[in-house]
């Protein structure tokens, strides 16, 4: 997948302040507050920064964590992972493979068939309903 490269000023012009804080500064929205936390429409969740299709509503589930949760991405090449040791924790960060937007984190406590929980900030996503 070809990378999208933009200056921070270009990202600031494109994104809302909240989106920028989360996807470019690795922020987190408060739990149970995001637009897509209780969202159950059918469709595709895209990266808010570059539009890459990341997750299907078919893989979304209620984890009780306070953030939208998915057990798998649309394809393995859509999400990059990086070690995150911020806040005195050891976590796996989930990033958009195309633009390096911070999406959230991946945890090994999800449902089958993957056993993974992609815990994603709503502000990092844009929903496209299925026709």
End-to-end CA, the chain:
26
- What are the structure tokens assigned to 49, written together? 């920064």
Residue 78 half-sphere exposure, CB side, CA atoms within 13 Å? Answer: 17
Q: In sequence order, what DSSP letters do the residues of 30-82 get, joined into one string?
A: PTT-STTTT---SEEEEETTT--EEEEGGGEE--SSSS-EESS-SSGGGEEEE
Q: Is 119 a catalytic residue?
A: yes
Nearest to 27 by CA among 36, 17, 35: 17
The active-site residue, picked from 50, 96, 99, 119, is: 119
- Which residue numbers are catalytic? 119
């Amino acid at each position: 997948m070809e990378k999208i490269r933009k200056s921070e000023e270009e990202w600031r012009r494109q994104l809302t302040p909240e989106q920028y804080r989360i996807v470019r500064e690795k922020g987190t929205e408060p739990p149970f507050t995001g637009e897509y936390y209780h969202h159950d429409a059918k469709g595709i969740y895209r990266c808010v920064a570059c539009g890459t299709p990341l997750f299907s509503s078919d893989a979304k589930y209620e984890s009780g964590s306070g953030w939208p949760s998915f057990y798998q991405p649309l394809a393995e090449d859509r999400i990059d992972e990086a070690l995150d040791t911020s806040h005195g924790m050891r976590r796996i960060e989930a990033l958009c493979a195309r633009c390096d937007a911070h999406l959230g984190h991946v945890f090994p406590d999800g449902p089958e068939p993957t056993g993974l929980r992609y815990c994603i900030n709503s502000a990092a996503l844009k929903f496209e309903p299925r026709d």
